[in-house]
Chains A and B, each alone.
Chain A
Amino acid sequence: MKPDRTTIEVIHGSLIYAAEEMGIALKKSAYSPNIKERMDHSCALFDLERRLIAQAEHIPVHLGSMALGLKLGLSAFTGSLEPGDMILLNDPYLSGTHLPDLTLIAPIFYGLDLVGYAANKAHHTDIGGKAPGSIAGDSTELYQEGLIIPPVKLLKAGVVDPEISLLICSNVRTPEVQMGDLRAQIAANITGIRRMLELIEKYGLETVKASMEEIMANSERRMRAAIAMMPSGSYTATDYLEDVAGSLAKITVTVTIDTDKILFDYAGTSPQVEAPVNAPLGVTIAGVYYTIISVTDSSIPINDGCFRPIILRVPEGTLMNPRRPAPVAGGNVETSQRNVDVLMKAFSQVLPDRVPAAGLGTMSNVSLGGAHSDGSPWTFYETIGGGSGGRPISDGVDGVHVNMTNTMNTPIESLEAYLPMHFDSYSLRPDTGGPGKYRGGCGIERSWTLTAPKAVLSILAERTKIQPWGLQGGKPGALGEYIIIKKIGEEVKLTSKCTVTIMEGDRLIIRTPGGGGFGNPLLRNRDDVVRDIENGLISLEAAERDYGYKLP
């Protein structure tokens, strides 16, 4: 019997709320700043068929990949899961992102019956490998990137396996932090299990199951209706990654809209590379999901149903669906952003009044590590926002994260108190937003000086050679740059992907890209040009050059 619509609506709200509550439990008890301050984690609930039912809105790049991780990661455990078990994995070829993202999956048992899963994924600050932070800019194969964990039972009948813990502790630089964060991940899943069981207790298993079917069917209907509104046809777009084994790597996608279905075909994309920018399939899928939701109707509840009208073709052995052991550390963070740029470019031909110009298109990953004076290791990882693209009805936003990430910055006062870093600036970069009727957002300058004897620095970034594109006559946003000013005054320009050693007194200057502009800059509202000049976000020269502005 189909439950009434009100019951379905109430159960749906409770499921979303349960996923959110998992996120809160995780964040509050986590150790690493990456989770506690930056919220680099995601939580979700799945049904028995491992279909996504509800997600908490944390990091888009995690979610498409979590569904895949459940399907592939659990296949070895069919029939052998018991109440209290939890499966841990980080193998990107199964769990879909990169090694620092640890996925923890808990089966939910109602009595003795398996009824679904609670799962979460959290970015750990270190999982071993050649560089502190495990996001080296120069790896050539997966094995250099850190400890690879296949799906294993971290918890058996509610008890953490000491041997697996020991194995992890022996392979990472800051084991206490990793163990603390794993405990928080366990707490999150326990919360999810509890809430799901409460729902079943209250409404009965059959009603909950039937409601979940209907929740997914509803999203499917809405997504099909949204797709059906688009003009049928094929739309192709291409964009590039830079500094990949010395050259450019191409991502091409053809989006074909066929009444209420949509096909994404990546034919034409470069083969996989010996550089850490290969995107495991989970990352590629996440980008497709993110794009389709944000260009259609972001109020459609996100679950398995939204994705049923989607057909994917990603040739194996390419940048967007590599074969083991291609390195993948940056696929999740950099290639995933470019993937969305390419997808958005294709959709800009279909939905010109829905799609913004390109945002900064990089997460500007900075990893740093070294040893304290007592020899104990420290690691640090952060990503830095920039300009979002100009939009059909409004300017881009200055200094913000776009698309596949939404992690927070770490407070400077927190970093200076705990790590050997002294900050010199954190500001918006004038004249970096792409000129347009609606200007692109400005990039960020963030710079600091090392106050420890030495440290290993890894940069993994993009858009230092190819600017974020504008749309409909809007101009591209400014490039990013990464510079070290040595203590002795020498200036070294870093490439977008590198691992280097820096010394005390060396200063790193990070300048992130601006977003592309939207529409002809000459049509920009004069008051807005004047406001930007007054606010110092556009120089007078740039206003004259790009906007045809003349001093009154």
Chain B
Amino acid sequence: MNLILFEAVLTLPRIAFFRMFRISIDVGGTFTDLVAFEERTGQLINLKIPSVPRNPEKGVTNALTMFLLDHPPNTIKILGHATTIATNALLGQIDLDLPKSAMITTKGFRDVVEIGRQRRAEVYNLFFQRPKQLISRKNRFELDERIEQNGLITKPIEYNELAILLENIKTQGVESLAIAFLNSYANSKHELKVAEEARKIFKYVTASCEITNEYREYERFSTAIVNTVLMPIMSRYINCLISDVKALGVDIPIYIMQSNGGLSTASLISVKPCTVVESGPAAGVIASAWIGKLTGELSVISFDMGGTTAKAGTVRGLIPEVVPEYEVAGQIHMGRILKGSGYPVRFPFIDLAECSSGGGTITWADNDGTLKIGPISAGAFPGPACYGRGGNTPTITDANLLLGRLNPKSLLNGEMIIYPEKAKTALETLSRKVSMDLEETAVSILLIANSMMGKILRIVSVERGYDPRDFSIVAFGGAGPMHVCALADELNVKRLIIPPNPGMFSALGLLTTDLFHDYTYPVIRKFSDVMPEDYEKAYLEMKKEAVTTLTNENVTEKKMKFYRQADIRYLGQGYELPISIPSKVTMETVKEISSSFHAKHLEAYGYSSPKEQLEVINLRLRAIGVIPKPKIRTRNRITKTEPREKRPVFFESLGWVDTPIYERTTGIWKNTILGPAIVEQYDATTVIYPDWVAKMDQYGNLILRRDIK
């Protein structure tokens, strides 16, 4: 495959000397994207090269090497990185074999992680399987110790027993060790003591309370185990990365995107790798929040449609929504993870709904002749039929091509030839199976794909009690801007934002976030029993730890910010709501906490019961190390855009229309484009539907509005 080099935005002439770049590199399944931002001039450089699936760090160094062709190494100040290596290892990718790992747990409970929640992911499937055990039963060892729910030690550790046990585990050739005891959330002493002893023998050790100290043993144990098996893989990866980057003459700190949307130093990720499992997808939502701020949109839905999947997330008041827990490597059904199909990890994850509807997703007919979409993807190889790489099954991209939405000659500025007749042949075969004509088949593919994607947008909006009409959608990924108008029509969204480089937008997220560290303090007490001084004591304790961590990351105290939250519920309920906690809790402000809980409950579930008792489950602190954000300069090259050509494009409401095709260039368009229209650019195609108008803002974003006549 050719190495593709592309510089999308060059706003200023090159002055190599004084420039300082902040660089982000997003390694995806198909492409590795590099975005470089020059702090002084506001210049943005985008590079896109093929990923190296077996050696993801090579993608990073290849992209960097490419960048260094034109810029000296000492112009790079910071490197941000998003990686899918952790997910791929858990999904069993070859060359990423999980290391031999073991676990030490409380006597009588070694099967807690195997039994899990005792349920099966698919109710009616008699051939269901559990996800494979990451640590097999023979490597799960028990220690005779016990701590009660109130933290009382009722069975102390026998150190002789522990020494023999550790020796025994060592002789099994174990590389990484998990330590997880019952009720360690209430008293971590035993876990920490065993970890201390174990670290004298093993290089990789995880104590569950060091990763998450919340109650519910299965989820906490599972989190510890995921961390344990990833630790050697991630450490090696990061070490390689650091030395490879150094070898290129670039001696700078490397930051990695966590699933919570914040960065963390690479060395911290080596010991807490379970925090980066959904690193890549998080970056897109963060970038959406940033562009929302830039364009004055506090609430946006982020819609990312790439090659294999579509993902949606919500940003409210500039803050991306997160979930406190996620099942990694699980199966997805109708936008949600099938409970029990993956490995629970308790850590804040940017809340994403996902469906198998990407450009490369295969469409097919079931035995009954019903048209189906996914979940299998043709990926980059063989890719959609129209890529001419040997794929002969039709994909969503092929349907878009047949309906005139994609350029029928080539993509990637002419670097990739397109074969429309191959798409046609593939779709014809399918159309016979579903007894439709060719055009009807292609239209149906889009309708069904849009309906699937409409659902994930609903999951992140309507289902959470938010009215999508109050949001703008940020559409990105190679295929996002092609489908977003149809989705907006369905959800009644009136405003869309298409960033300048939709296909490389996620990488931008790495440049627009801060260092995040999340801390939790378990409480599990009636709200009325938690005194103001209890809050202050807990937050102080967490803050102390946070300050140490941030200081080690060279963050000065001025650049530190802290956000307080608590997980609260009605006494007896099973799910908590996250509630903001005042910066100083007093007898007065305590009342604010309860009233904001009742209000939030009303908003989320349609009722509140102000007379009922509340219960505080956890206090949370998010510590932020502020990193300066890119200040995108407005662009001053104003141009008037004219259609390059016209071609017939199919629209659901109008049928075939001879549609103007525009080319998206770096200048700011002063004129408005009326739908129906197509905007083509290197890394994406935007389809502007009838009744929509597009304008460009001063940052080069395409802003689409529904034209209300």
Q: Across the interface, which residues of A come within 8 angstroms of B367, CB to CB?
A: 222
Q: Which chain A residue lies CB-closest to B436?
A: A5
Q: Are A408 and B124 in contact (CB under 8 A)?
A: no
CA distance in complex: A25, B129 (Å): 28
Q: Across the interface, which residues of A come within 8 angstroms of B336, CB to CB?
A: 20
CA distance in complex: A296, B183 (Å): 45
Q: Is B18 positioned at the interface, with any CB of A under 8 Å from its CB? A: no
Q: Are A28 and B604 in contact (CB under 8 A)?
A: yes
Indicate the member of B137, B436, B444 with the most A CB atoms within 10 Å. Answer: B137
Using known A-B contacts A413-B215, A426-B111, A535-B137, determine if residue A397 contacts B130 with beta carbons closer than 8 Å. Answer: yes
Q: Across the interface, which residues of A come within 8 angstroms of B124, CB to CB?
A: 57, 60, 290, 293-294, 298, 302
Q: Is A13 positioned at the interface, with any CB of B under 8 Å from its CB? A: yes
Determine which of A5, A24, A177 lies in contact with B371 in the assembled complex, contact meaning CB atoms within 8 Å: A5
In the complex, chain B residues 428-447 whose Cβ is within 8 Å of any chain A Cβ: 434, 436, 443-444, 447
Report the interface size for chain B: residues with CB under 8 A from the other chain.
64
Q: Is A85 positioned at the interface, with any CB of B under 8 Å from its CB? A: no
Indicate the member of B334, B434, B436, B605 with the most A CB atoms within 10 Å. Answer: B605
Q: Are A384 and B118 in contact (CB under 8 A)?
A: yes
Determine which of B112, B126, B138, B216 lies in contact with A426 in the assembled complex, contact meaning CB atoms within 8 Å: B112
Q: Which chain A residue lies CB-closest to B373?
A: A9
CA distance in complex: A294, B109 (Å): 33
Q: Across the interface, which residues of A come within 8 angstroms of B452, CB to CB?
A: 13
Q: Are B607 and A32 in contact (CB under 8 A)?
A: no
Cβ of A37 to closest chain B Cβ, rounded Å: 5
Q: Across the interface, which residues of A come within 8 angstroms of B455, CB to CB?
A: 13-14, 17
Q: Across the interface, which residues of A come within 8 angstroms of B606, CB to CB?
A: 29, 187, 190
Indicate the member of A14, A412, A534 with the most B CB atoms within 10 Å. Answer: A412
CA distance in complex: A545, B623 (Å): 60
Q: Across the interface, which residues of A come within 8 angstroms of B171, CB to CB?
A: none
CA distance in complex: A411, B149 (Å): 12
Q: Which chain A residue lies CB-closest to B334?
A: A17
Q: Is B376 positioned at the interface, with any CB of A under 8 Å from its CB? A: no
CA distance in complex: A536, B114 (Å): 13
Cβ of B604 to closest chain A Cβ, rounded Å: 7
CA distance in complex: A176, B217 (Å): 27
Cβ of B188 to closest chain A Cβ, rounded Å: 14
User: Which listed segment binds B: A307-315, A325-333, A399-407, A478-486?
Assistant: A399-407
Q: Are A31 and B368 in contact (CB under 8 A)?
A: no
Interface string of A265-307 (1 = CB under 8 A from B): 0000000000000000000000000100111001100100000
Q: Are B183 and A176 in contact (CB under 8 A)?
A: no
Q: Is A107 positioned at the interface, with any CB of B under 8 Å from its CB? A: no
Interface string of B453-479 (1 = CB under 8 A from A): 001001000010000000000000000
CA distance in complex: A302, B136 (Å): 37
Interface string of A189-223 (1 = CB under 8 A from B): 01000000000000000000000000000100110
Q: Which chain A residue lies CB-closest to B109?
A: A426
Q: Are A354 and B126 in contact (CB under 8 A)?
A: yes
Q: Which chain A residue lies CB-closest to B219?
A: A411
Q: Is B573 positioned at the interface, with any CB of A under 8 Å from its CB? A: yes
Q: Are B524 and A417 in contact (CB under 8 A)?
A: yes
Other A-B pairs beyond A5-B371, A6-B444, A28-B605, 15, CB < 8 Å:
A9-B448, A10-B448, A10-B451, A32-B572, A57-B122, A180-B609, A190-B606, A290-B124, A302-B124, A385-B115, A385-B119, A423-B108, A425-B108, A427-B110, A444-B111
Q: Across the interface, which residues of B come within 8 angstroms of A17, CB to CB?
A: 334, 455, 458
Interface string of B597-629 (1 = CB under 8 A from A): 000010011110100100000000000000000
Q: Is B370 positioned at the interface, with any CB of A under 8 Å from its CB? A: yes
Using known A-B contacts A6-B447, A9-B448, A391-B127, determine if residue A413 contacts B183 with beta carbons closer than 8 Å. Answer: yes
Q: Are B122 and A298 in contact (CB under 8 A)?
A: yes
Determine which of A29, A60, A218 lies in contact with B368 in the assembled complex, contact meaning CB atoms within 8 Å: A218
Q: How many residue-residue contacts, CB under 8 A, span A and B?
A: 191
Q: Are A397 and B574 in contact (CB under 8 A)?
A: no
Q: Which chain A residue lies CB-closest to B122?
A: A298
Using known A-B contacts A406-B119, A426-B111, determine if residue A414 contacts B216 with beta carbons closer than 8 Å. Answer: yes
Q: Is B637 positioned at the interface, with any CB of A under 8 Å from its CB? A: no
Give A contacts to B, CB under 8 Å: 5-6, 9-10, 13-14, 16-17, 20-21, 24-25, 27-33, 35-37, 39, 57-58, 60, 176-177, 180, 183-184, 187, 190, 218, 221-222, 290, 293-295, 298-299, 302, 354-356, 384-385, 391, 393-394, 397-402, 406-409, 411-414, 416-417, 422-428, 444, 534-537
A-B contact pairs, 22 of them (CB 8 A): A6-B448, A10-B448, A14-B455, A28-B605, A31-B572, A36-B573, A184-B605, A354-B126, A398-B114, A399-B115, A400-B115, A408-B118, A411-B215, A411-B216, A411-B219, A412-B182, A413-B149, A413-B216, A417-B215, A425-B109, A427-B110, A428-B137
Q: Are B118 and A385 in contact (CB under 8 A)?
A: yes
Q: Are B108 and A427 in contact (CB under 8 A)?
A: yes
CA distance in complex: A17, B183 (Å): 37
Q: Is B125 positioned at the interface, with any CB of A under 8 Å from its CB? A: yes
Q: Across the interface, which residues of A come within 8 angstroms of B138, CB to CB?
A: 534-536
Give B contacts to A, CB under 8 Å: 108-112, 114-115, 117-120, 122-130, 136-138, 148-149, 182-183, 185, 215-219, 334, 336, 366-368, 370-371, 434, 436, 443-444, 447-448, 451-452, 455, 458, 463, 524, 570, 572-575, 601, 604-607, 609, 612
CA distance in complex: A184, B443 (Å): 40
Q: Are A5 and B444 in contact (CB under 8 A)?
A: yes
Q: Which chain A residue lies CB-closest to B601?
A: A29
Q: Are B119 and A408 in contact (CB under 8 A)?
A: yes
Cβ of A342 to closest chain B Cβ, rounded Å: 16
Q: Which chain A residue lies CB-closest to B452?
A: A13
Q: Are B216 and A401 in contact (CB under 8 A)?
A: no
Q: Across the interface, which residues of B come within 8 angstroms of A406, CB to CB?
A: 119-120, 123
Determine which of B125, B219, B573 lies in contact with A180 in the assembled complex, contact meaning CB atoms within 8 Å: B573
Using known A-B contacts A10-B447, A16-B334, determine if residue A394 contacts B217 with beta carbons closer than 8 Å. Answer: no
CA distance in complex: A57, B124 (Å): 9
Q: Across the interface, which residues of B come within 8 angstroms of A180, CB to CB?
A: 570, 572-573, 609
CA distance in complex: A85, B150 (Å): 46
Q: Are A400 and B120 in contact (CB under 8 A)?
A: yes
CA distance in complex: A5, B368 (Å): 12
Q: Are A399 and B118 in contact (CB under 8 A)?
A: yes
Q: Across the interface, which residues of A come within 8 angstroms of B607, CB to CB?
A: 29, 183, 187
Q: Are B371 and A427 in contact (CB under 8 A)?
A: no
Q: Which chain B residue lies CB-closest to A386?
A: B118
Determine which of B118, B524, B574 lies in contact with A35 in the assembled complex, contact meaning CB atoms within 8 Å: B574
Q: Across the interface, which residues of A come within 8 angstroms of B370, CB to CB?
A: 5, 9, 218
CA distance in complex: A307, B452 (Å): 27
Q: Across the interface, which residues of A come within 8 angstroms of B122, CB to CB?
A: 57, 298
Cβ of B222 to closest chain A Cβ, rounded Å: 12
Cβ of B26 to closest chain A Cβ, rounded Å: 31
Query: Which 6 pairs from chain A and chain B are nearest by CB?
Result: A36-B574, A425-B108, A298-B124, A535-B137, A29-B605, A408-B117
Cβ of B217 to closest chain A Cβ, rounded Å: 5
Q: Across the interface, which residues of B come within 8 angstroms of A14, CB to CB?
A: 451, 455
Q: Are A412 and B217 in contact (CB under 8 A)?
A: yes
Q: Across the interface, which residues of B come within 8 angstroms of A36, CB to CB?
A: 573-575
CA distance in complex: A17, B454 (Å): 11
Q: Are B126 and A356 in contact (CB under 8 A)?
A: yes
Q: Are A414 and B215 in contact (CB under 8 A)?
A: yes
CA distance in complex: A534, B216 (Å): 29
Q: Which chain A residue lies CB-closest to B606?
A: A187
CA distance in complex: A412, B136 (Å): 22
Q: Which chain B residue lies CB-closest to A441?
A: B130
Q: Are A393 and B127 in contact (CB under 8 A)?
A: yes
Cβ of A150 to closest chain B Cβ, rounded Å: 26
Q: Across the interface, which residues of B come within 8 angstroms of A412, CB to CB?
A: 109, 112, 182, 217
Q: Across the interface, which residues of A come within 8 angstroms of B366, CB to CB?
A: 299
Cβ of B349 to closest chain A Cβ, rounded Å: 17
Using known A-B contacts A190-B606, A408-B119, determine if residue A6 contacts B334 with beta carbons closer than 8 Å. Answer: no
Q: Which chain B residue lies CB-closest to A9?
A: B448
CA distance in complex: A428, B219 (Å): 18
Q: Are A399 and B127 in contact (CB under 8 A)?
A: no
